């Protein structure tokens, strides 16, 4: 039987106030800024703000102590000790502890606002066509609908999510730079605009009952480029990750969309999300939900392979049965 460890109330408060971004970085984990929050790269459905966390895939969250208990599978005393940099029981030592969140200085949430648009979209077109192999006519469609544009400050591509009345509610920024890329080849900067509403994503709504669902805007554009025939008849939606909030909102807004097709990434996180979302949709009466995997890790990688830009890719696990 393990020895009982007593912590003072002050120690518990300090442990619960540990800044989780600093804590994860101290453990060698990677976190990515997403608007006013951060996303944990290893669990990309987890968002973090100060000492608070929320896992969108399971709709659960809390403070620092239960974060460590949940994701490191350890007891309450061990979680407190870990957060306190090894401090145990009634010992009281500030040295070596991780920075704590100052709750009094947390910034108020800003109203959502789109980044200012540049006077042209040349860099967005160049990046998406030359680096990502997207069909320029597909890009032009979304530019015309004002759901894709180039921002004036940093020349990022901005992908806009509209509500049912055409009002912008969400925006995702993606760097168009071709330098400073990560070892995987992806761009180093991407983030949601502060105060974006996760129930809305970059999308196209057509007239059929079919809705194709993707993790990222570039995968949505890649899929359309691969299968352009009559593409505007169908609907396409980006989740900006693996949380189902935007999907549920879209299905509620457009009742005719009875055939969801989950086209998430062909990796462990994407496959786990497909299983979770499929179960949830079946419980809601969507019995015609299907999974359409890419031949590679994601749809843009497949598109780049077909354009001759990617040489080594995994073999497709299923035939996809669509006509280009």
Q: How far is CA 237 from CA 54, 246, 247, 257, 268, in A?
A: 23, 8, 7, 12, 21
Residue pair 16/69 in contact (Cβ under 8 Å)? The answer is no
Residue 116: predicted pLDDT: 97
Distance CA 321, CA 295 (A): 12
> What structural domains does the chain harbor?
9-105 (3.90.580.10), 122-306 (3.40.1360.10)
Residue 178: predicted pLDDT: 66
Residue pair 243/196 in contact (Cβ under 8 Å)? The answer is no
- Between strands 259-262 and 210-214, the pairing is parallel
**Ramachandran angles phi, psi of 52, nearest 5°:** -110, 145
Residue 206: predicted pLDDT: 97
Walking along the chain (324 residues) 10 residues at a time, the average pLDDT comes out as 62 88 81 83 84 81 89 85 63 49 58 95 97 97 98 95 96 79 49 86 97 96 97 95 89 97 89 90 95 94 88 40 40
Residue 201: predicted pLDDT: 95
In this structure, how many other beta carbons lie within 10 angstroms of the beta carbon of residue 226?
20
Produce one character per residue of 263-276: b if its CB has 16 or more CB atoms within 10 Å, e if not. bbbbeebbbebbee
Tokens representing residue 320 in the block: 């996809």
Greatest alpha-carbon pair distance for the chain in Å reads: 69
Residue 85: predicted pLDDT: 67
Residue bearing tokens 């899929």: 223
Distance CA 255, CA 236 (A): 15
Angle value at C-alpha 266, between 265 and 268, nearest 5 degrees: 95
Q: How many residues does the chain have?
A: 324
In this structure, how many other beta carbons lie within 10 angstroms of the beta carbon of residue 36?
18
Half-sphere exposure (CA, 13 Å, Cβ side) for 5?
Answer: 16
Residue pair 299/263 in contact (Cβ under 8 Å)? The answer is yes
Q: Count of H helices and E strands in the chain? A: 10, 14
Nearest to 160 by CA among 143, 179, 184: 143
Residue 129: predicted pLDDT: 97
Residue 153: predicted pLDDT: 92
> In terms of C-beta density within 10 A (0-12 exposed, 13-18 middle, 19 or more buried), how is residue 71 classed?
middle
Q: How far is CA 278 from the centre of its chain?
A: 18
DSSP 8: -
């Amino acid at each position: 039987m393990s020895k009982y460890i007593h912590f003072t109330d002050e120690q518990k408060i300090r442990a619960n106030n540990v800044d989780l971004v600093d804590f994860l970085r101290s453990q060698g984990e990677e976190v990515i800024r997403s608007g006013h929050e951060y996303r944990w790269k290893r669990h990309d459905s987890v968002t973090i703000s100060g000492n608070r966390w929320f896992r969108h895939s399971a709709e659960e969250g809390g403070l620092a102590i239960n974060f460590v208990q949940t994701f490191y599978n350890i007891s309450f005393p061990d979680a407190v000790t870990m957060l306190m940099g090894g401090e145990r029981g009634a010992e009281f030592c500030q040295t070596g502890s991780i920075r704590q969140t100052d709750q009094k200085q947390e910034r108020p949430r800003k109203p959502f606002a789109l980044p200012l648009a540049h006077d042209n979209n040349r860099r967005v077109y160049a990046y998406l066509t030359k680096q990502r192999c997207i069909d320029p006519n597909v890009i032009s469609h979304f530019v015309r609908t004002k759901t894709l544009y180039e921002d004036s400050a940093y020349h990022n591509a901005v992908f806009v999510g509209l509500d049912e009345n055409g009002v912008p509610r969400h925006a995702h920024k993606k760097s168009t730079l071709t330098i400073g890329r990560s070892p995987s080849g992806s761009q180093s900067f991407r983030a949601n605009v502060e105060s974006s509403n996760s129930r809305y994503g970059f999308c196209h709504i057509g007239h059929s009952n079919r809705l194709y669902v993707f993790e990222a805007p570039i995968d949505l554009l890649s899929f359309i480029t691969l299968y352009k025939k009559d593409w505007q008849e169908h609907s396409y939606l980006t989740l900006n990750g693996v949380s189902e909030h935007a999907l549920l909102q879209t299905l509620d807004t457009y009742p005719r969309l009875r055939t969801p097709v989950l086209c998430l990434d062909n990796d462990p996180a994407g496959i786990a999300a497909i299983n979770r979302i499929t179960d949830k949709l079946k419980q809601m009466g969507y019995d015609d939900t299907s999974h359409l995997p890419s031949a590679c890790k994601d749809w843009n990688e497949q598109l780049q392979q077909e354009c001759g830009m990617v040489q080594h890719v995994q073999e497709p696990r299923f035939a996809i049965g669509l006509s280009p």
